[in-house]
Structure formats: structure tokens, C-alpha cells
Structure 1
């Protein structure tokens, strides 16, 4: 069976992938950048010490190849003709339809963040207490630690959109134009100096939480942080 595990929620997708892999004793794991047609063919067709039931796992294969390449066509053709082989692809992002549609009988597992997460992140601005309400709604379905990580990422991106013309951080390079537009609109509510102070405060919260230097829980600190913007 061909299985493709992908999506932006890499924590959940990775846990699924590791759990799935742990249930199979005879398996081989490949880094996607080193996986080509010859490797695929030798693994399933060659005379190896591999057991009769061959279980293959490939990590971030699609990030390292284009659908129009001859190599991708050979791999997809082989797997479509031999759909009974056991291979699982894990990708640390959501794949486009051009990749997914190349495999006729693949089982697709998509792990994305709940939509309310992005509504929450977009709502973060001074005086908007609705962000607190969204935070409380969100923490019913997501770990507080992951929400906090995404808050830090959001402010890192907001700082990034104010530094146009300079070397962009890698996260900025991967954003679509409409995403950058939304960040620019949100960044207008803050000065660069304010964003730098906020980013430092987030670091302090993170540090104090990790080393037990605050009597407050992380979710309580997030509540106070949002209210004080």
C-alpha cells in the first residue's frame, strides 16, 4: 500500500508516522533527498537481506523533487504499477494536488492545524480581547505549548515583513503573497520597537516556563500577555 502523510501540523503527523513505523519490525527508512528510482527498484526488486515483506519509509521526498522531472515520473509509474508494495511518504508540509494526484491508489493522511488557530493568530493586536476568547477556544483542541510556539512564530513573521529589502528569514520565503499581505496589515498595529519588545517578552515567558521560574502556568502567562498588548 502507498501511504502519503502530510500537512502543516507536523507534530501530530510525525507522531502518527512514528507510531505507524514502530508497529512494523522489518522496515527501512530513507531521507528523501537520497531517494531515487534506482534506490526504490533495488529495495523492492533486488536480492537483499530485507525480509519478504518490505516496508519502506521516505521522509521529505517531495520537497526534493519536481513532478515534471523524469525521476519523479519513473518513481510514480513504478508505484502505480506495483501498488501492493508497502511504502509510506512523510512530508513536513501540505502537498499540492499535482503531487498527490500522481499516485492513483495512495491513501492520503492530511494533518492540518484547526482553522481557529489562524483566526486567533490574525486577531492578535493591541486592545483586541477577542484574541483571549479564541485562545481559550483553541486550547481545548491544541496543546498550549504548541499554541505558544505559533504565537512566537507569528511575531517573528511580523518582524520579518517590516524588514523588506533585507535578507528574508526562511519562513518568509515560503509564504504566499496573500499571507504576506495579511501579515503586513497586522504589522501596522505595531511599531518595530514594540514588536522587538514583545518578542523579548515572549522569550522571557518561554525561559521562565522551561526553568520553573514563574509561579504561573503557561496558559495563564499567555492570557496576561494577550491582555497587555
Structure 2
């Protein structure tokens, strides 16, 4: 059995992945973390063998979709399908910042997708000059239930895409309606201010990782927004 844990909310998906390890440990299973390169070597007899202290083995890996499933040949695809249909092998895979639609489509894979709340997208759409009040209000609301680091990651990624669009460069992985939406939001920004805002996000990232600021990520975003979105 293969379960893929994924979603744009990488923090929530990672926590879910780790929580599965905790749940199965409490049930008496042996947790085995393996490199994705070793997944094709999994054996039913080894997976089902019990020790003095545990029932069976549960395997956990990451990047299986990116590194293995999207590069299958006839032989390796058969092995993956054997794992999927096996009653003895149980494998969990974590895919960071990957939507279910981007996964390799193979029947009977169990997919657990952790999606961001719709409020985060409202926050991203509200990030433009002249819209300070709405941005601050949404940021305050969402920070009560969402980790600051996830809010920051989503905002930084979004503003990077707006900047790329503003500079006239292509975003090949996005659909036409997404690019049109970014272009519309980019019109509110002067290019210089947009570059400075994005550089401000970079400084927040560096300062938070090096403890160079007394402010939290959320407080730093408040300050940056007050300067550029008023």
C-alpha cells in the first residue's frame, strides 16, 4: 500500500506525515525511514516480519513521486504496482509543495492532500499599494490559525511571480488565467516599489533565520506592508 502526502501547505503536510509515524509507533509498529532510491528494493517478507518489541514495519520516505514515479520504466512500474497492491508493505511518501494534480497518476495510490485555506489566497490577492487596511486585517485573521512561516512562504512566492510578470518574463508552469490575474495585480505596483517590497521580504527571511530582528515574521510583514501598501 502506498500513501502519498502532499499539498501546497507544506507545513501541514509535513506535520501530517510525522504524525503518522507517531500514530503507528504508538500502535506498536516499527518505523523505518528509507531513501527513495531504496523503495524499489522493499520486500514483503521483511515488511511483515515482527521483532520482539514491534508488530510489523511501516516505511516512510520522501520525493518518491519526483524522483521515481515520474521516471518509471516497465520493470520499475511493475514493482511500484506490486507495492501499491501489497497487503504486507505499507509505505508513506511526503511530497513537499506538490499538489495532487501534479502527481504521477497510478491507480490505487492513496493521496492525502493538505490545501491552504482560502483566506491565504485572499491575503495574496490583497497585497498591492492602496490596500493596506484590507491586507493587515486579513493577515491578522489568518495568523491566528496559520503558522507565520507558511504565510510568509506563500506571500514571497506570490510576490516573486508578480515581479516576474511585471518584468515581462514568462511563467511557463502557470495557466493563462493565473498569469492574467498576476498581470492585473502587477498593474497596481510601480516597478521600483515592487522590487523593493520583494527585497524587503528577502530581508525578513534572512533576519528571521539569523535572529537579527526582535520582531516576529508577522510583525515584520506588518511593518513592510505599512511602508509599501499605504
Same fold, judged at TM 0.5 (above): yes
- 2:6 corresponding residue in structure 1: 6
2:176, 2:33 → 1: CA distance?
35
- 2:114 corresponding residue in structure 1: 111
Give 1:79 shift. 3.3
2:205, 2:60 → 1: CA distance?
34
Give 1:80 shift. 4.5
- Is 1:221 the counterpart of 2:191 in the alignment? no
- Is 1:96 the counterpart of 2:101 in the alignment? yes
Report runs of 4+ in structure 1 exceeding 6 Å deviation: none
Which of the residues 139, 161, 173 maps onto 1:157?
161
Question: Size of the alignment, in residue pairs?
Answer: 217
Give 1:116 shift. 1.0
Q: Is the 8 A contact 1:59 1:90 kept in 2?
A: yes
1:190-201 matched pairs, under 5 angstroms: 190-201=189-200
Tell me the SS of whatever aligns to 2:91. Answer: strand
- Is 1:189 the counterpart of 2:193 in the alignment? no
1:1-229 matched pairs, under 5 angstroms: 1-22=1-22, 23-24=24-25, 26-32=30-36, 34-35=37-38, 37=40, 39-40=41-42, 43-45=43-45, 53-64=56-67, 65-66=69-70, 69-71=73-75, 73-92=77-96, 93-96=98-101, 99=104, 102-103=107-108, 106=110, 108-128=111-131, 129-165=133-169, 172-209=171-208, 210-214=210-214, 216-228=215-227, 229=229
CA RMSD of aligned residues (A): 3.3
**Structure 2: stretches of 5+ with no match in the other structure:** none
Post-superposition Cα deviations, 1:54-96, rounded to whole Å, max 9, x if no partner, equal 3222312122333985356414531354234221122221223
Give 1:113 shift. 1.0
TM-score by length of 1: 0.76
Q: Is the 8 A contact 1:67 1:98 kept in 2?
A: no
Q: Is the 8 A contact 1:36 1:71 kept in 2?
A: no
Give 1:103 shift. 1.0
Give 1:206 shift. 4.0
Give 1:110 shift. 1.8
2:2, 2:71 → 1: CA distance?
17
Give 1:156 shift. 1.7
2:205, 2:80 → 1: CA distance?
44
1:190, 1:212 → 2: CA distance?
29
Tell me the SS of whatever aligns to 2:194. Answer: helix
2:119, 2:57 → 1: CA distance?
40
Larger deviation, residues 147-156 vs 113-122: 147-156
**Structure 1: stretches of 5+ with no match in the other structure:** none
1:145, 1:111 → 2: CA distance?
16
- Over 3 Å counting, the alpha-carbon distance change for 1:174 and 1:60 in structure 2 is farther
